[in-house]
Amino acid sequence: MTVDEAYATCGRLAFTHYENFPVASHLLPPTMRKHVAAVYAYARIADDLADEGDVAVAVRHQRLDEWLDWLRASTAGGSVSAGLETRCAPTVLDPAATANAPAVFLALGHTIRAHDLPLSLFEDLVSAFRQDITVHRYDSWAALFDYCRRSANPVGRLVLRIAGRRDAALDDASDAVCTALQLTNFWQDLEIDWRRGRLYVPAEEHVAAGASLESLDRGEWTNAWAVTLARCTQRTRALFGRGRPVADGVRGRLRWELRATWLGGMRILDRLERSGYDVFRERPTLGAGDVPSIAWRALWWRR
Protein backbone atom coordinates (compact mmCIF):
# COMPACT_ATOMS: atom_id res chain seq x y z
CA MET A 1 0.00 0.00 0.00
CA THR A 2 1.29 3.45 -0.89
CA VAL A 3 0.85 6.52 1.32
CA ASP A 4 -1.55 7.99 -1.26
CA GLU A 5 -3.66 4.84 -1.17
CA ALA A 6 -3.68 4.99 2.64
CA TYR A 7 -4.92 8.59 2.56
CA ALA A 8 -7.60 7.60 0.07
CA THR A 9 -8.89 4.99 2.53
CA CYS A 10 -9.03 7.61 5.30
CA GLY A 11 -10.92 9.93 2.97
CA ARG A 12 -13.53 7.27 2.30
CA LEU A 13 -13.97 6.70 6.04
CA ALA A 14 -14.40 10.44 6.60
CA PHE A 15 -17.09 10.85 3.98
CA THR A 16 -19.10 7.67 4.65
CA HIS A 17 -19.85 8.25 8.34
CA TYR A 18 -22.67 10.44 9.58
CA GLU A 19 -21.53 13.56 11.40
CA ASN A 20 -23.32 16.71 12.52
CA PHE A 21 -20.59 19.05 11.41
CA PRO A 22 -18.24 19.18 8.41
CA VAL A 23 -15.26 16.87 8.49
CA ALA A 24 -12.47 17.37 5.95
CA SER A 25 -14.99 19.12 3.72
CA HIS A 26 -14.24 20.70 0.38
CA LEU A 27 -13.99 24.08 2.09
CA LEU A 28 -10.68 22.96 3.55
CA PRO A 29 -7.52 23.71 1.60
CA PRO A 30 -6.66 20.63 -0.49
CA THR A 31 -3.24 20.46 1.17
CA MET A 32 -4.93 19.98 4.56
CA ARG A 33 -7.81 17.73 3.58
CA LYS A 34 -6.01 14.39 3.52
CA HIS A 35 -4.30 15.07 6.85
CA VAL A 36 -7.57 16.00 8.56
CA ALA A 37 -9.17 12.86 7.09
CA ALA A 38 -6.38 10.75 8.62
CA VAL A 39 -6.99 12.30 12.04
CA TYR A 40 -10.72 11.75 11.64
CA ALA A 41 -10.32 8.09 10.61
CA TYR A 42 -8.16 7.44 13.67
CA ALA A 43 -10.73 9.02 16.00
CA ARG A 44 -13.77 7.49 14.27
CA ILE A 45 -12.51 3.93 14.57
CA ALA A 46 -11.34 4.43 18.17
CA ASP A 47 -14.79 5.75 19.07
CA ASP A 48 -16.41 2.74 17.40
CA LEU A 49 -14.14 0.35 19.32
CA ALA A 50 -15.26 1.88 22.61
CA ASP A 51 -18.93 2.04 21.62
CA GLU A 52 -19.46 -1.63 20.74
CA GLY A 53 -22.03 -2.24 23.44
CA ASP A 54 -22.39 -5.98 22.77
CA VAL A 55 -18.66 -6.56 23.31
CA ALA A 56 -17.32 -7.23 26.82
CA VAL A 57 -15.93 -4.18 28.60
CA ALA A 58 -12.53 -5.82 29.08
CA VAL A 59 -12.29 -6.57 25.35
CA ARG A 60 -13.14 -2.99 24.44
CA HIS A 61 -10.37 -1.75 26.72
CA GLN A 62 -7.96 -4.22 25.12
CA ARG A 63 -8.90 -3.00 21.67
CA LEU A 64 -8.24 0.61 22.65
CA ASP A 65 -4.89 -0.46 24.12
CA GLU A 66 -4.02 -2.04 20.80
CA TRP A 67 -5.17 1.07 18.92
CA LEU A 68 -2.67 3.08 20.97
CA ASP A 69 0.00 0.47 20.19
CA TRP A 70 -0.66 1.05 16.49
CA LEU A 71 -0.41 4.81 17.04
CA ARG A 72 2.99 4.55 18.72
CA ALA A 73 4.25 2.03 16.19
CA SER A 74 3.32 4.37 13.35
CA THR A 75 5.77 7.00 14.64
CA ALA A 76 8.50 4.68 15.90
CA GLY A 77 10.86 5.56 13.07
CA GLY A 78 12.07 3.70 10.03
CA SER A 79 9.70 2.62 7.30
CA VAL A 80 6.15 2.77 8.57
CA SER A 81 4.85 0.52 5.83
CA ALA A 82 7.47 -2.15 6.46
CA GLY A 83 6.11 -4.53 9.06
CA LEU A 84 3.60 -2.21 10.72
CA GLU A 85 0.96 -4.90 10.47
CA THR A 86 3.06 -7.40 12.43
CA ARG A 87 4.22 -5.11 15.23
CA CYS A 88 0.82 -5.22 16.89
CA ALA A 89 -0.08 -8.87 16.21
CA PRO A 90 -1.93 -10.84 17.40
CA THR A 91 -4.88 -8.53 17.01
CA VAL A 92 -7.94 -8.20 19.24
CA LEU A 93 -9.51 -5.59 16.97
CA ASP A 94 -12.82 -6.22 15.26
CA PRO A 95 -12.68 -7.14 11.54
CA ALA A 96 -13.44 -3.61 10.27
CA ALA A 97 -10.73 -2.01 12.40
CA THR A 98 -8.28 -4.77 11.51
CA ALA A 99 -8.90 -4.19 7.81
CA ASN A 100 -8.48 -0.41 8.03
CA ALA A 101 -5.69 -0.11 10.61
CA PRO A 102 -2.72 -0.48 8.21
CA ALA A 103 -4.03 2.28 5.96
CA VAL A 104 -5.10 4.57 8.81
CA PHE A 105 -1.77 4.38 10.58
CA LEU A 106 0.33 4.55 7.44
CA ALA A 107 -1.43 7.82 6.59
CA LEU A 108 -1.56 9.07 10.17
CA GLY A 109 2.12 8.36 10.80
CA HIS A 110 2.95 10.40 7.71
CA THR A 111 0.68 13.24 8.92
CA ILE A 112 2.15 13.24 12.43
CA ARG A 113 5.70 13.48 11.15
CA ALA A 114 4.90 16.04 8.45
CA HIS A 115 3.28 18.43 10.93
CA ASP A 116 5.06 17.47 14.15
CA LEU A 117 1.77 16.64 15.86
CA PRO A 118 1.90 15.77 19.58
CA LEU A 119 0.89 12.20 20.37
CA SER A 120 -0.69 13.43 23.61
CA LEU A 121 -3.63 14.87 21.66
CA PHE A 122 -4.32 11.48 20.06
CA GLU A 123 -3.96 9.78 23.43
CA ASP A 124 -6.43 12.24 24.97
CA LEU A 125 -9.02 11.24 22.38
CA VAL A 126 -8.67 7.57 23.28
CA SER A 127 -8.86 8.36 27.00
CA ALA A 128 -12.22 10.04 26.42
CA PHE A 129 -13.52 7.14 24.34
CA ARG A 130 -12.35 4.77 27.07
CA GLN A 131 -14.29 6.82 29.62
CA ASP A 132 -17.43 6.37 27.52
CA ILE A 133 -17.30 2.64 28.21
CA THR A 134 -18.08 3.00 31.90
CA VAL A 135 -19.16 6.61 32.57
CA HIS A 136 -22.70 7.34 31.40
CA ARG A 137 -23.67 10.25 33.67
CA TYR A 138 -21.95 13.46 34.80
CA ASP A 139 -22.47 15.09 38.18
CA SER A 140 -21.00 18.49 37.39
CA TRP A 141 -20.06 20.89 34.63
CA ALA A 142 -16.43 20.50 35.67
CA ALA A 143 -16.54 16.77 34.97
CA LEU A 144 -18.30 17.29 31.64
CA PHE A 145 -15.84 19.99 30.55
CA ASP A 146 -12.95 17.67 31.40
CA TYR A 147 -14.49 15.04 29.14
CA CYS A 148 -14.90 17.58 26.31
CA ARG A 149 -11.29 18.68 26.83
CA ARG A 150 -10.25 15.20 25.75
CA SER A 151 -13.07 14.13 23.42
CA ALA A 152 -13.47 17.28 21.30
CA ASN A 153 -10.77 19.89 21.88
CA PRO A 154 -7.83 17.80 20.56
CA VAL A 155 -9.41 17.75 17.08
CA GLY A 156 -9.46 21.54 16.86
CA ARG A 157 -5.88 21.84 18.03
CA LEU A 158 -4.76 19.22 15.53
CA VAL A 159 -6.49 21.05 12.69
CA LEU A 160 -4.74 24.29 13.68
CA ARG A 161 -1.36 22.56 13.72
CA ILE A 162 -2.01 20.97 10.35
CA ALA A 163 -2.71 24.51 9.16
CA GLY A 164 0.67 25.56 10.55
CA ARG A 165 -0.78 27.58 13.42
CA ARG A 166 0.68 27.28 16.91
CA ASP A 167 -0.77 30.07 18.97
CA ALA A 168 -2.06 29.89 22.56
CA ALA A 169 -4.89 32.36 21.95
CA LEU A 170 -6.09 30.42 18.91
CA ASP A 171 -5.87 27.17 20.88
CA ASP A 172 -8.08 28.65 23.60
CA ALA A 173 -10.64 29.91 21.08
CA SER A 174 -10.61 26.55 19.29
CA ASP A 175 -11.16 24.74 22.59
CA ALA A 176 -14.21 26.88 23.29
CA VAL A 177 -15.75 26.17 19.87
CA CYS A 178 -14.99 22.44 20.01
CA THR A 179 -16.51 22.13 23.48
CA ALA A 180 -19.54 24.13 22.33
CA LEU A 181 -19.99 21.84 19.31
CA GLN A 182 -19.72 18.77 21.54
CA LEU A 183 -22.29 20.17 23.97
CA THR A 184 -24.63 21.10 21.12
CA ASN A 185 -24.50 17.49 19.96
CA PHE A 186 -25.31 16.32 23.49
CA TRP A 187 -28.39 18.58 23.73
CA GLN A 188 -29.76 17.65 20.30
CA ASP A 189 -29.18 13.94 21.01
CA LEU A 190 -30.53 13.91 24.56
CA GLU A 191 -33.44 11.61 23.72
CA ILE A 192 -31.25 9.26 21.64
CA ASP A 193 -28.56 9.09 24.32
CA TRP A 194 -31.11 8.47 27.06
CA ARG A 195 -32.47 5.43 25.22
CA ARG A 196 -28.88 4.18 25.09
CA GLY A 197 -28.42 4.65 28.82
CA ARG A 198 -26.47 7.92 28.66
CA LEU A 199 -27.13 11.43 29.93
CA TYR A 200 -24.66 14.26 29.42
CA VAL A 201 -26.68 17.00 31.12
CA PRO A 202 -24.82 17.57 34.41
CA ALA A 203 -26.79 16.41 37.46
CA GLU A 204 -26.14 19.71 39.19
CA GLU A 205 -28.07 21.42 36.39
CA HIS A 206 -31.15 19.21 36.10
CA VAL A 207 -31.44 18.71 39.86
CA ALA A 208 -31.42 22.48 40.40
CA ALA A 209 -34.27 22.82 37.88
CA GLY A 210 -36.24 19.96 39.45
CA ALA A 211 -36.13 17.92 36.24
CA SER A 212 -37.06 14.29 36.84
CA LEU A 213 -35.22 11.37 35.25
CA GLU A 214 -38.43 9.37 35.49
CA SER A 215 -40.07 11.75 33.02
CA LEU A 216 -37.35 10.88 30.51
CA ASP A 217 -38.13 7.20 31.05
CA ARG A 218 -41.75 7.94 30.18
CA GLY A 219 -40.77 10.00 27.14
CA GLU A 220 -42.45 12.97 28.77
CA TRP A 221 -40.93 16.40 28.11
CA THR A 222 -41.56 18.73 31.04
CA ASN A 223 -41.13 22.43 31.72
CA ALA A 224 -38.33 21.56 34.15
CA TRP A 225 -36.41 19.86 31.36
CA ALA A 226 -37.04 22.83 29.07
CA VAL A 227 -35.60 25.12 31.74
CA THR A 228 -32.63 22.78 32.12
CA LEU A 229 -31.83 22.74 28.40
CA ALA A 230 -32.37 26.50 28.18
CA ARG A 231 -29.66 26.95 30.80
CA CYS A 232 -27.40 24.45 29.05
CA THR A 233 -27.95 26.23 25.75
CA GLN A 234 -27.15 29.61 27.27
CA ARG A 235 -23.87 28.26 28.57
CA THR A 236 -23.11 26.72 25.17
CA ARG A 237 -23.78 30.01 23.39
CA ALA A 238 -21.30 31.71 25.69
CA LEU A 239 -18.66 29.19 24.65
CA PHE A 240 -19.41 29.81 20.96
CA GLY A 241 -18.97 33.52 21.67
CA ARG A 242 -15.60 32.96 23.33
CA GLY A 243 -14.44 30.79 20.45
CA ARG A 244 -15.59 33.00 17.57
CA PRO A 245 -12.14 34.64 17.09
CA VAL A 246 -10.66 31.33 15.90
CA ALA A 247 -12.39 31.84 12.55
CA ASP A 248 -10.69 35.23 12.21
CA GLY A 249 -7.29 33.95 13.27
CA VAL A 250 -6.75 31.74 10.23
CA ARG A 251 -6.64 32.52 6.54
CA GLY A 252 -7.89 31.21 3.23
CA ARG A 253 -10.34 28.37 2.89
CA LEU A 254 -9.89 27.21 6.47
CA ARG A 255 -11.43 30.51 7.58
CA TRP A 256 -14.58 29.66 5.59
CA GLU A 257 -14.65 26.14 6.99
CA LEU A 258 -14.48 27.43 10.57
CA ARG A 259 -17.08 30.11 9.95
CA ALA A 260 -19.48 27.56 8.47
CA THR A 261 -18.90 25.18 11.37
CA TRP A 262 -19.46 27.93 13.94
CA LEU A 263 -22.61 29.15 12.20
CA GLY A 264 -23.93 25.60 11.87
CA GLY A 265 -23.56 24.97 15.58
CA MET A 266 -25.30 28.22 16.48
CA ARG A 267 -28.08 27.45 14.00
CA ILE A 268 -28.81 24.15 15.75
CA LEU A 269 -29.06 25.99 19.08
CA ASP A 270 -31.46 28.48 17.48
CA ARG A 271 -33.58 25.61 16.21
CA LEU A 272 -33.49 23.94 19.62
CA GLU A 273 -34.67 27.16 21.26
CA ARG A 274 -37.52 27.65 18.78
CA SER A 275 -38.79 24.12 19.47
CA GLY A 276 -39.08 24.86 23.17
CA TYR A 277 -36.10 22.53 23.73
CA ASP A 278 -38.42 19.53 23.25
CA VAL A 279 -35.99 17.01 21.76
CA PHE A 280 -38.57 14.25 22.27
CA ARG A 281 -40.80 15.93 19.70
CA GLU A 282 -38.13 17.15 17.28
CA ARG A 283 -34.39 16.65 17.01
CA PRO A 284 -32.85 19.86 15.61
CA THR A 285 -30.57 19.16 12.65
CA LEU A 286 -28.97 20.83 9.65
CA GLY A 287 -29.87 20.02 6.08
CA ALA A 288 -29.21 21.10 2.53
CA GLY A 289 -31.68 23.93 2.96
CA ASP A 290 -29.42 25.52 5.56
CA VAL A 291 -26.46 25.83 3.20
CA PRO A 292 -27.45 29.10 1.45
CA SER A 293 -28.12 30.90 4.74
CA ILE A 294 -24.89 29.68 6.34
CA ALA A 295 -22.91 30.59 3.23
CA TRP A 296 -24.45 34.10 3.15
CA ARG A 297 -23.76 34.71 6.82
CA ALA A 298 -20.22 33.40 6.44
CA LEU A 299 -19.70 35.85 3.57
CA TRP A 300 -20.99 38.78 5.65
CA TRP A 301 -19.22 37.70 8.79
CA ARG A 302 -18.43 40.56 11.15
CA ARG A 303 -15.50 40.51 13.55
pLDDT value, residue 26 = 64
65-68 long-range CB contacts below 8 Å, 24 or more apart? 66/91, 66/92, 66/93, 67/93, 67/97, 67/101, 67/126, 68/123, 68/126
Q: How far is CA 262 from the centre of its chain?
A: 14
The pLDDT tens digits of the residues spanning 115-148 come to: 999 999 999 999 999 999 999 999 999 999 999 9
Region label for 83, one of left (φ > 0), alpha (ψ between -120 and 50) or beta (otherwise): left
Q: What percent of the chain has pLDDT over 70?
A: 91
Higher pLDDT, 251 or 233: 233
Question: What backbone phi and psi angles, to 5 degrees, belong to 78?
Answer: 75, -160
pLDDT value, residue 294 = 86
The fold of the 1-134 domain, in CATH, is Farnesyl Diphosphate Synthase (1.10.600)
- Whether the pLDDT of residue 20 is over 60: the answer is no
In this prediction, residues 1-14 reach a mean pLDDT of 91
The pLDDT tens digits of the residues spanning 198-225 come to: 999 999 999 999 999 999 999 999 999 9
pLDDT value, residue 137 = 96
pLDDT range class, residue 303, cuts 50, 70, 90: low
Q: What does each C-alpha distance from 2 to 40, 165, 172 come to in angstroms?
A: 19, 28, 36
- Whether the pLDDT of residue 288 is over 50: the answer is yes
Q: Classify residue 16 by its DSSP letter.
A: S
- Whether the pLDDT of residue 298 is over 90: the answer is no
pLDDT value, residue 82 = 45
**Roughly how many angstroms between the first and final C-alpha of the chain, as a whole number?**
45
pLDDT value, residue 300 = 84
By the 10 Å C-beta count (0-12 exposed, 13-18 middle, 19+ buried), 300 is classed as: exposed
**Which DSSP string do the residues of 112-136 spell out, in sequence order?**
HHHHT--HHHHHHHHHHHHHHHH--
pLDDT value, residue 24 = 43
- Whether the pLDDT of residue 253 is over 90: the answer is no
Higher pLDDT, 129 or 293: 129
CA nearest neighbour of 233 among 199, 266, 269: 269
pLDDT value, residue 202 = 98
Spell out the CATH class of 136-303.
mainly alpha
Record the pTM.
Answer: 0.91
Fold agreement between 1-134 and 136-303: yes
The pLDDT tens digits of the residues spanning 58-98 come to: 999 999 999 999 999 888 764 444 445 555 556 788 888 88
DSSP helix/strand/coil, 26? coil
pLDDT value, residue 21 = 44
Alpha-carbon span 60 to 53, nearest angstrom: 9
Every domain of the chain and the residues it spans: 1-134, 136-303
